[in-house]
C-alpha cells in the first residue's frame, strides 16, 4: 500500500473535515441516519489521515503526495 495522501491533505482531513463531521453529528442529535453518516465520514477521514492512504484516491488515480508515479497498463 503506497501512500497517496500528502501532508496538507492529511492535516485537512484530521483537523478540519473530521471535526466538522463530528459537529454535524452533534447538530443532528447523535442519533439517526445523518448522525451515523457524519460519524462514518469522520472515522474514514481520521483513518485515511493516519495511514496516508485513501482507497478512493487509488481507484481514481489521485495522489496528493507530490510524487509522480508512472501508470502501467
Output the pLDDT for position 50: 95
Q: For the chain, how many residues are written?
A: 73
Average pLDDT by consecutive 10-residue portion of the chain (73 residues)?
Answer: 91 96 93 93 96 93 79 54
Cell numbers for 61? 488515480
**Predicted model pTM:** 0.81
Output the pLDDT for position 19: 95
For 51, phi then psi, to 5°, come to -95, -15
Output the pLDDT for position 56: 93
Name the one residue in this structure whose C-alpha cell is 442519533.
31
- CB-based contact 1:48 (threshold 8 Å): no
Amino acid at each position: 500500500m503506497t501512500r497517496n495522501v500528502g501532508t496538507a491533505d492529511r492535516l485537512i482531513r484530521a483537523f478540519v473535515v473530521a471535526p466538522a463531521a463530528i459537529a454535524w453529528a452533534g447538530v443532528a442529535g447523535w442519533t439517526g441516519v445523518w448522525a451515523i453518516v457524519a460519524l462514518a465520514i469522520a472515522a474514514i477521514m481520521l483513518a485515511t489521515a493516519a495511514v496516508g492512504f485513501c482507497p478512493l484516491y487509488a481507484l481514481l488515480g489521485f495522489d496528493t503526495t507530490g510524487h509522480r508515479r508512472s501508470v502501467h497498463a
